[in-house]
Structure 1
């Protein structure tokens, strides 16, 4: 019961900040570009600083905990399940099917994952392995498939450059490097006069992320394309129900995890779809409404299932 109360308190904290962003957008505080500015600042500046600050103090064994295997195989499983269901029922074209698979497996490790890991799981570093896995593995694979299915060719140069365009990945990798060097030399190699401003900027990441998300909810009109509704709700079910179940089965029966590790694996598996999927859809001009609606529905339903997980496992 204590874990459920903690989860509800965490959702309350997150919900209040999101509501503040929604109200600010409704009252036009900050003007029409406020959400864009907050998103850009959090994505390119504050969140990389936060990940660097967190990971620089983490032991490398904790950063690459075996739980990353649970995240990887549960994500791959739901992606494959969606492709099978598409083949049988939805018959989406290859680019749209790729967006659907990404909608099913791609975790929102930044906008929602960081706040949930911070306020519900109590350790924001838990999202780092997922973030690295997604940006270094799932993104290049997804973009390669979209290249082939939309252009008929692969731009190896563009695929190889993708990690260089991901500030969160860069901040995470730099933090991991500093963690290794700290362990090697036995002291912190980054002096406080440099580390302190990085920490200050990083502290702004989660509030900016949540307020920007709240702003994005103002004026949203989902499910305008009726033909995609079955696939959209299938994506949400795969993301918020099937993936946590698979994560639990893998974590409990295969990896032998118990306690907080098991709880963390299942909660993180229930995160909604990452907003990056919409960016990829927009870049290739395929499945944009499908991506947007899948993200929105999974984001709206995710807290319900995370609360259920907290009641059962915490």
Structure 2
């Protein structure tokens, strides 16, 4: 399968960039604060620019494709399952539970999703609904909970102000506005000299997130915390096995998808956890090891699951 081989090449490319971050940390390139700087710069500057650039260039019909219903319901299902399992067995605090839920439902739709959508599904725009769902729904909810639980203050005023504190949400919504206006007038409304700098800054987001993730692996031992091991393994099972299964059931029996649409929904649901979750954990300095281990194990096992789905459904 040439498409499957190309997707595996995408995983290899990601691994190389993570390895570069690890080596940089090993040789202390950038000093002891390099990882924190990369995380914060990506969170506040480059990632919002990336979301704006992606959303602004997509048509509204692509962003709001019906597959967004499958993506939302399958993600919400596994997120709630983790919360339930945590209440029954793991008993983590609210902030760590939020990281676990995000680890279970958050898809790596950029640096792995785009190659998979391009080379296996033949349509990179299929990730647009996932990007919208994650940035407009799940990310703001998760960050609001993290902000409230780590600051110790919760009020209606603080909740109402939360969207103004989420650069990723602001970038995504700004891009959707430009997309809507462009669709209305029949052409892309931003001049190239305005859009190009935003696009260039956004292009730095994925490598910075991956290298920061690689830096976090230096000096750490995955699954070191024994108390987190059951929760971490649960996250990986929910993300890589349960979520694709739920996506198949919803796509086939609820939405009536067949062929390429069914295949696309299931493959994209099998994407590993996005490195953004570690970025959020580092931003609030909570559950960083838990987030890192879940992302690492999910990324390692995801190619196997995607290969099996491709063999069965393609």
TM-score (norm 1): 0.82
Contact 1:251 1:257 in 2 (8 A): yes
Report the counterpart of residue 77 of structure 1 in structure 2. 77
Contact 1:178 1:189 in 2 (8 A): yes
Q: Secondary structure at the match of 1:115?
A: coil
Name stretches of at least 5 consecutive residues in structure 2 with no aligned partner.
none
Q: CA deviation at 1:150?
A: 8.8
Contact 2:100 2:235 in 1 (8 A): yes
Separation of aligned partners in 1, 2:226 and 2:261: 40
Q: CA deviation at 1:181?
A: 0.8
Report the counterpart of residue 262 of structure 1 in structure 2. 262
Alignment of 1:65-104 (within 5 A): 65-90=65-90, 97=97, 99-104=99-104
Q: CA deviation at 1:226?
A: 1.8
Contact 2:21 2:215 in 1 (8 A): yes
Contact 2:263 2:313 in 1 (8 A): yes
Separation of aligned partners in 1, 2:146 and 2:192: 44
Shift in CA distance, 17/282, structure 1 to aligned 2, threshold 3 Å: closer
Report the counterpart of residue 203 of structure 2 in structure 1. 203
Q: CA deviation at 1:235?
A: 1.8
Matched, 1:49 2:49: yes
- 1:20-66 deviation digits (Å, cap 9, x = unpaired): 22222222223223322332333322222222222222110101111
Name stretches of at least 5 consecutive residues in structure 1 with no aligned partner.
none
Q: CA deviation at 1:278?
A: 5.8
Q: CA deviation at 1:299?
A: 3.8
Contact 1:95 1:286 in 2 (8 A): yes
Match of 1:121 among 117, 124, 144: 117
Separation of aligned partners in 2, 1:55 and 1:150: 31
Q: Secondary structure at the match of 1:120?
A: helix
Worse-superposed segment, 128-137 or 230-239: 128-137
Alignment of 1:165-204 (within 5 A): 165-204=165-204
Query: Aligned pair count?
Result: 310
Shift in CA distance, 224/31, structure 1 to aligned 2, threshold 3 Å: same
Q: CA deviation at 1:257?
A: 2.8
- 1:252-304 deviation digits (Å, cap 9, x = unpaired): 33223344443432233233345565677778887665455434433443343
Shift in CA distance, 44/242, structure 1 to aligned 2, threshold 3 Å: same
Report the counterpart of residue 229 of structure 1 in structure 2. 229
Alignment of 1:221-300 (within 5 A): 221-274=221-274, 289-300=289-300
Over aligned residues, Cα RMSD in angstroms? 3.2
TM-score (norm 2): 0.82
